[in-house]
Chain A
Amino acid sequence: MKRSGVWASVLALGMAVVGIVGARGQDQLPAPSPIEKELAARANHVTEVTLDKNMLAFAAKFMKDEDDKEARDMIQNLKGVYVREYEFDKENSYTPQELEGLRNYFKTADWSPMVRERSKGEAMGTDVYVKLVNGQMEGLFVLDAEARELSLVLILGPIDADKISKLGGNFGIPKGVMKRAEKKEAGK
């Protein structure tokens, strides 16, 4: 009886730890996908920007311009920003399978596709996924594939859908990609 009580406590503790780690994991930025390493090896220019919740909150304190107010309000509540940009010398330096692999790596169960834009017969295009929690946008993932450029933006935390483009130009988040994402989201 005593032994089963100990085991029950250990099990409960284990479940609690798994729960805490799981909850933390959802808010944490992912480790780079193995595909990214392959893309980086092929790319002529690679830019990686990674900011966690603490750094974003700290950085937001310094955005005091009135023009930055909307971006600041959003940034100080974000949980993480993960940006990767790959520029290639040649066209078609990535495969459709790699794009699919990236999509599958970043979007987990909570993510829903919002925009999917493709040119006929081409791997290039834009994908926008959103993480919805109780009807509130809690994350945004954009994969923008152009002929010689591949951009990947992952933003975790509460985001105002109408002000997505305000995040562009901050912390390495490409302006053009965010504008396109907002435009496509609005025209959805």
Chain B
Amino acid sequence: MIQDQRKPSSWSMAWVPVGLAAVMTPAILLAAGGAGSSGGFDEVVHSIEQHYHVHATRIPFMGLISFIAGRSTHGGVRGLHVAEIEHFEGPVDGEELTALVQQHAGTGWQRMVRETSRGGVEQSLIYVRPEGDHLGMLIVERDTHEMNIVQLSMNPDKLSDEIDKHHHHADSDADRNEDKDEDKGDKSKDQDGDSD
């Protein structure tokens, strides 16, 4: 009788795939649809792959990661897309790269920052665009041997609120530790006093 109670019923077993589907569907949809709706990101990555004959590695489950990032920052960051190109060797013409990104980024993007170092070996491009109450950012960064392409949408207000919360927690933890230390100090003083 007791053994029967411990066995999961067929009814409850049926909920497992349903639960999994409920969890995975938004993640898969975000992974597939998110990249498509972001417009420029996939096109930028694809154009770089084609132009420089390189292969970009997309981070798996980026949609899920983006979803978690959005939840954990209470909407501070969303629409996260990352692609990494390793073994990106050879010279890159900065003007050419900028034109390529500009051409495929899509509408509304404005190049805010461009940094070039060491004769063009290192390049950073930051594009921004207003996305409602969020700021869309498209970052293309080329290091000596690799290139990273990141797109995200962030709300600086929400993000700074989150950071402030963490600062607040860190400060209160530090205060608590200080109080503890002081208490310990007082106790040891008392003990010293008693021994005297």
Contact = CB atoms under 8 A, between A and B. Distances in A.
Interface of A: 40, 43-52, 54-55, 58-59, 62, 64, 171-172
Interface string B141-171: 0000000000000001100100000000000
B113 A58 contact: no
Interface of B: 110-119, 128, 130, 135, 156-157, 160
Given A55-B128, A58-B130, A58-B135, A48 B114 contact: yes
Given A58-B130, A62-B156, A62-B157, A45 B117 contact: yes
In order of increasing CB-CB distance, the 3 nearest A-B pairs are A62-B156, A48-B114, A46-B116
Nearest to B131: A58
A140 B115 CA distance: 23
B115 A47 contact: yes
Contacts of A55: 110, 112, 128, 130
Given A45-B118, A47-B113, 19 more contacts: A43-B116, A46-B116, A46-B117, A47-B114, A48-B113, A48-B114, A48-B115, A50-B110, A50-B112, A51-B112, A52-B110, A55-B110, A55-B128, A55-B130, A58-B130, A62-B156, A62-B157, A64-B160, A171-B112
Nearest to B129: A55
A59 B135 CA distance: 8
Contacts of B160: 64
B146 to A, nearest CB: 19
A122 B111 CA distance: 35
Contacts of B118: 44-45
Q: Is the interface of B mostly helix, strand, loop or mixed?
A: strand
A5 B33 CA distance: 57
Contacts of B156: 62
A54 B130 CA distance: 9
B111 A50 contact: yes
Contacts of B110: 50-52, 55
A16 to B, nearest CB: 28
12 contacts: A40-B116, A43-B116, A45-B116, A46-B114, A47-B113, A47-B115, A50-B110, A51-B112, A54-B130, A55-B130, A64-B160, A172-B113
B160 to A, nearest CB: 8
B115 A46 contact: yes
B157 to A, nearest CB: 6
Contacts of B114: 46-48
